[in-house]
Amino acid sequence: MFTRMVNLDFTVSAAMVLVPALVLFAVLVLLRARAGSPGWTGRHALLRLGGALYAAAVLQLTIFPLHVVFGTYANQTPWYEMVQWVPLIIADFSFVPNVIMMLPLGALLPLVSVRVSSPGRAALAGAGISLAIELTQMLSYVLFSNGRSVDINDVIANTLGTGLGFLALRWVARARSLAGLVQELALPSARPAGIPATGHGHAGPAS
C-alpha cells in the first residue's frame, strides 16, 4: 500500500485577515453614520473605529502571524508541555508589556458597556478576554503545531492591565475639563462610572 505524509508549512499573516476585517467594519460604521444611527455618528464612530484598530493590534501581537505546520515540519512537543500552568513562578520581561497592552481595553470598556462599572468588573472582563486569547493560542498549537506557548502569567498581567486602565480613565475623568469629553465619547448605552455630571453628553453620577 502506498502512503505518503503530507508536509505543509505556510504562514497566514495578520494583513491577510485583519485588513479586510477592518475595511468591512469601517464600511459598516460609514453606512450606520450616514443613516444617523444612534451611537454610530461623530465621536461615537471614532470610538468604534479606534476600538477596532486596537483589537486588531492586540490580535496581531497575540495570534498573528499564524504559522500552519503539518507533517515532518511539525513541532513534536506535546501541547501540555507548552503550557505554563503555575502562576508567578516563571515570569519574564513580557509581564510588563502585557500589562501595558491591556490598559487601553480597561479605558475602552466603560465607554462601550454600562456593565463595566468598576475596576473589578473591568478586570473580570479582561481576564475573560485574556483567557480566550490563551485558549486560541493553545488551540492553534494543537491544530497547527506552530510552537505557540500558553502562560497563565499572561492572563494575570492582562487582568491587571485592564483594571488599571479602568482606574486611569476614572482618574482622568475626575478633571472637570475632561469629564464632558469622556461623557461625549461614551456610547449612548454606556454611563462611565465616577464621572462628574457636567451637562454635556451623558449625565454620569456625580462624584
Report the DSSP pairing between strands 66-70 and 83-84: unpaired
From CA 100, how far away is CA 136, in angstroms rounded? 21
Between these two residues, 103 and 201, which has the higher pLDDT value? 103
Q: What angle do CA 152, 158, 163 make, to 5 degrees?
A: 130
| Cα–Cα distance for residue pair 173/170, rounded to 1 Å | 5
- Quick one: pLDDT at residue 193? 53
pLDDT attached to residue 78: 66
pLDDT for the residue numbered 11: 86
Decide: 102 and 127 in contact? Cβ < 8 Å: no
Pull the grid cell for residue 142: 494543537
Specify which residues 69 forms β-bridges with: 9
**How many Å from the N-terminal Cα to the C-terminal Cα in the chain?**
78
What is the tens place of the pLDDT at every residue in 52-95?
999 999 999 999 998 887 766 666 766 666 677 777 666 667 88
Q: Tell me the pLDDT tens digit for each residue of 128-154.
A: 999 999 999 988 888 877 767 788 999
Angle at 134 between CA 130 and CA 138, to 5 degrees: 170
- Give 126's DSSP letter: H
State pLDDT tens for residues 4-15. Answer: 556 777 888 999
CA dist 160 and 165 (Å) reads: 9
- pLDDT averaged over the chain? 84
Cell 505556510: give the residue.
10
pLDDT recorded at residue 94: 81
CB 63 within 8 A of CB 133: yes
Residue 206 has pLDDT above 60, yes or no: no
Judged against a pLDDT cut of 70, whether residue 112 lies above it is answered with: yes
- Note the pLDDT tens digit of each residue in 116-127: 989 999 999 999
pLDDT over 80 at 113, yes or no: yes
Distance CA 201, CA 4 (A): 66
How far is the C-alpha of 167 from the C-alpha of 128, rounded, in Å?
18
pLDDT of residue 2: 45
**C-alpha separations of 48 from 34, 51, 124, 186, 196 in Å:** 15, 5, 22, 10, 23
pTM of the model: 0.83
Compute the Cα dihedral for 160, 162, 163, 165 and give only its sign: positive
